[in-house]
Amino acid sequence: MGHPFLADGVDFGDVILSLVMVVASFVICLVATMFMVWFLRKVIGRLQNRLGPNVAGPFGMLQTLADGMKLFFKEDIIPTRADRFVFQLAPYLSLIPAFLTFTLVPIAGDFSDGKDGTTTVFGREFLWQVADVPVGILFFLAMSSLGIYGILLAGWSSGSKYPLLGSVRASAQAISYEAALGLSLAAVILVSGSLSTNGIVLSQADSLFTWNVVVTGFVPFIVFVIAGTAELNQPPFDLVEAEQELVGGYVTEYSSIRFALFFLAEFMNMVTMAAIIVTLFFGGPAPLFDIPGDDRLGPLLGLLWFFAKMFFFLFMFVWIRATLPRVRYDQLMDLGWKVLIPLSLAWFLVLAGIRVARDGSIGVFDDTLGDLAIVLTVAAVVGFLGFSVLRQAVINARNDRLEQAGLTEVAVTADLAPQPGATNAGGR
């Protein structure tokens, strides 16, 4: 399914409208990213009992523009040992996927009473998104995977050890959390019955109780938020650029406009991820409640509701960034492989079983409630056994590590123990 105005062929007006939509989407991304940088600095400043930006422009709102101009005119340095072509290409490989993902998001439109969110302008019907790809969710997963190549190549091409370590961490982190992210999306696809972002929003349009955050039982949403935060390399999962360990990680050797592009990609990814969360789990432009006289706003009402929801999740990202300390690398891996992946897989199987029971495909009992009770009972028993086995495996692995650490401590202590007749530096 694509834009309605493209259904009967493409003329010059269709091309102009498509270009306008692309430019408008890019402008929205840039403006939202500039606002996000200012908003993050302001909120973290208040949470830490300081002012934040307050000089450049009213309330410091032009501080991001000032920083961008400064970076644009700074000297661009390319390390001697760097692979010049890949070093220059890497920032764009991080920035472009973030923008392409945003083009899938329906930011407005009327989806009530069976409407599909189309709006008519100058006799042409269009959707409030640049592209409604039939496999939009798969495209989102592809773009989120492609964005990591920019970080990976940036670290490899810098010709330095700290960037390389950061890029290796990024690849391992992406592999760990892509699986959990995909399984949480599988739950959304299961209950929505569509891979299109427009179709997913349409399936949530009836009421608050049809939003996917409720229909899927909250667990896929929680997994998606945690895995998405790790995909964004945001605190507490920012180990790819941990300044206490890796100086600046994959961006250590970057300067000037190339560093600004990575900076822009990072915050644009935050905006895009918040928009994706609203689309997949919170009904997209669907209103939370009716406002008297809101019918006069037309499609702008959906736009206002969409950005209000997106603002909430952007604040959540900032709140998490300012509150939680950075996790250790082993904690990062344990959370991804031992918690999120088993949890999201088990929950997906439970949702699939509930869906089969509701359709009456099990056929053990004459009523749906009996089949549903069987599914929930089996899920509870299997889940308990799986949790017990996984917990025991984690405990055994931890005990093995502690035992090895204890042997190492004994060996080191024996090596450092003073020999008979020896004295320390002080002569005592």
| One domain for residues 118 and 167 | yes
Tell me which of 67 and 423 has the higher pLDDT. Answer: 67
The answer to whether residue 421 is domain-embedded is no
The last residue of one of the domains, among 298, 326, 354, is 326
Q: Are 129 and 107 in contact (CB under 8 A)?
A: yes
Q: What does the pLDDT look like over 13-34, one tens digit per residue?
A: 777 777 888 888 888 888 888 8
The answer to whether residue 399 is domain-embedded is yes
The pLDDT of 98-112, averaged and rounded, is: 83
What does the pLDDT read at residue 414?
A: 44
Amino acid 15 reads: V
The last residue of one of the domains, among 282, 303, 326, is 326
| One domain for residues 61 and 193 | yes
Does position 365 have pLDDT exceeding 60, yes or no?
no
C-alpha dihedral sign at 396, 398, 400, 403:
negative
Lowest mean pLDDT among 66-75, 141-150, 234-243: 234-243
120: which strand partners? 125
* Chain CA centroid to CA 387, Å: 27
Contacts 24+ apart (CB under 8 A), 78-82: 79/158, 79/159, 79/160, 79/253, 80/159, 81/159, 81/160, 82/157, 82/158, 82/159, 82/253
| One domain for residues 162 and 254 | yes
pLDDT band at 413 (very low <50, low <70, confident <90, very high): very low
Q: What does the pLDDT look like over 249-293, one tens digit per residue?
A: 788 888 888 888 888 888 888 888 999 999 999 988 888 877 765
pLDDT band at 82 (very low <50, low <70, confident <90, very high): confident
| One domain for residues 214 and 348 | no
Q: At what angle do helices 219-231 and 341-358 cross, to 10 degrees?
A: 150
Going by DSSP bridges, is the β-strand pair 118-121/124-127 parallel, antiparallel, or unpaired?
antiparallel
| One domain for residues 244 and 120 | yes
CA dist., res. 387 & res. 312, Å (int): 33
What does the pLDDT read at residue 281?
A: 92
The answer to whether residue 354 is domain-embedded is yes
DSSP letter, residue 297: G
The last residue of one of the domains, among 294, 326, 358, is 326
| One domain for residues 45 and 81 | yes
What predicted TM-score, i.e. pTM, was given to this entire model? 0.84
| One domain for residues 346 and 216 | no
Q: What does the pLDDT look like over 380-407, one tens digit per residue?
A: 787 778 778 877 877 887 788 777 776 5
Give every CB contact of residue 344 below 8 A, 6+ residues apart in sequence.
180, 183, 184, 187, 219, 220, 223
| One domain for residues 322 and 346 | no
Q: 3-state class of 126 per DSSP? A: strand
CA distances from 23 to 26, 29, 129, 321, 331 (A): 5, 10, 12, 31, 42
124's tokens? 């042409």
Output the CA torsion 236→240→244→248 (10° steps): -130
| One domain for residues 320 and 341 | no
Q: Are 319 and 327 in contact (CB under 8 A)?
A: no
The answer to whether residue 422 is domain-embedded is no
pLDDT band at 339 (very low <50, low <70, confident <90, very high): confident
Q: What does the pLDDT look like over 40-66, one tens digit per residue?
A: 888 888 888 888 888 887 888 888 888
The answer to whether residue 423 is domain-embedded is no
DSSP letter, residue 326: P
How many domains does the chain divide into?
2
Does position 183 have pLDDT exceeding 50, yes or no?
yes
Structural domain containing residue 380: 337-408
What one-character-per-residue DSSP string does 377-391 give? HHHHHHHHHHHHHHH
